[in-house]
Amino acid sequence: MKKDIWVLMEPGQADGYRESSLALLHPCRALADTLGGTLTAVALFGGDVAKGAAIAGAYGADRLLLADREALDPAAALASLAEKEHPWAILAVSACETREYLPRACARMGTGFAADCSGFALDAKADCLVWTRPAFGGSVLCDVVCPVRRPQIGTVRSGIYQQRSIPRALPAAVSRFTPAQGDSPRVRVFRLLRNLAEDGIDLENADIIVAGGKGVGGTQGFRPLRELAAALGGAVGASRSAVDRGWISGSHQIGQTGHTVAPKLYIACGISGAIQHLTGMLGSGTIVAVNVDPNAAIFQYSDYSVVGDLFEVLPALTREILRH
C-alpha cells in the first residue's frame, strides 16, 4: 500500500503560506522518505500556481494539490479529496481554522483526530503514527494512536518545527482540483491577522526570546527583561503565572495555553519550569535559565543554568552586550 503524506497549507501573508505550515513540511519530508510515499502540500483555499509550486517545492513537497477556487466548506473539500486519493496521513498546523474544519472532515471520513499535538513519530511495528499531546491542563503528556482507520489526521502546535528550505529545489508538481462545496458553512475566514505581542513582534517567529515568570515579581519586574531583549534584538515572552497576575498582556504568553515557540535562544527568567510552560518552548535551540532557586525544575531542561537574582544578572548581561 502506498503511504502518501499530506500537509495542509494554511494561507498566509501576500498570497503565500503560513510559516508554520512550511515548517511542518520538513519533518513530513523525512516521514514520507521513510515510508516510501509522496509528500503532498494541499492548498484548499487556492492561490497562485507558479508561486505555490515554487514555495512548496522549496520546502520539500513533491506535489502541490491546489484548489482552483476557494473551498467554502474545507471539511467537505478535504473529505472528498481524501476519499479519491487515499492518503496515509494528513497533518496540519493547529490554528483557529484547522480546529474548526478538521474535526468535521474527520467525521465525514470516519477516522480519528489527534488535536493540538506537540509532536509525532512513526511506530513502524504498529504501522501508524504516534501523536504526543499535553493532557490534564498540561500536567502530563500522552500518546495518541489511530491504529485502524485511515487517513490518520492530526494537528501540530505552531512553533514546534522550524522552516528549512532545500537549496536548488525544483517546484512541486501541481495537480488542480475543484473543491466540493458541501453545505453552506457557518464560519468563513475573510482576513488573517497575525497574533502579535503588544510590541509588534511575532513571538512564534522570533529568533531570541527573553521570558519572565512569577519570579519577576510584578509589572516593573519585566523592565530588565525588555532591556535585555532590546539589546539582543529579541522579543519578550511570559509564563502563564505572570499573565494571570496581570503583569503583562496575554499576547506574550508562552506555553500550552499560549504561543509555542522555537527560537535560537530562549532566556527563562524567574520561571520555575512547569510542564504547562515547557511544552511551549522546549523546541528552542539554546535555553538559558536564571533563577534564585537551585532546585528549580527549569534547570533540568536548560543548556546554561544561572543560580542568581535576575535583577542583578540581567542588567549586568545587558551592559556587557551593549559594551560590545
Residue 37 among known ligand-binding residues: no
Helix spans in 15-142 (H): 19-35, 49-58, 74-85, 96-109
Residue 272 among known ligand-binding residues: yes
- Return the CA Rg of the chain: 21
Residue 205 among known ligand-binding residues: no
Residue 274 among known ligand-binding residues: yes
- At 317, phi and psi to the nearest 5? -70, -40
Residue 277 among known ligand-binding residues: yes
Residue 52 among known ligand-binding residues: no
Residue 239 among known ligand-binding residues: yes
Residue 152 among known ligand-binding residues: no
Per 3-state DSSP, the chain is made up of helix, strand and coil in percentages (nearest 5) of 35, 25, 40
Residue 111 among known ligand-binding residues: no
Residue 240 among known ligand-binding residues: yes
Rounded CA-CA distance 140/31 in Å is 26
Q: Taking the CA of residue 163 as centre, how many other CA atoms within 13 Å lie in the half-sphere pointing to its CB?
A: 17
Burial 210-242 (b: 16+ CB within 10 A, else e): bbbbbbbeeeebbebbbbbbbbbebbbbbbbbb
Residue 291 among known ligand-binding residues: yes
Residue 175 among known ligand-binding residues: no
Residue 300 among known ligand-binding residues: no
Residue 253 among known ligand-binding residues: yes
Burial 57-77 (b: 16+ CB within 10 A, else e): bbbbbbbbbbbeeebbbbbbb
Name the residue type at position 320.
Answer: E
- Kindly report the number of other CB atoms within 10 A of residue 116's CB atom: 16
Can you say which residues are annotated as belonging to the binding site for FAD? 239-240, 253-257, 270-277, 291
Can you say which residues are annotated as belonging to the binding site? 239-240, 253-257, 270-277, 291
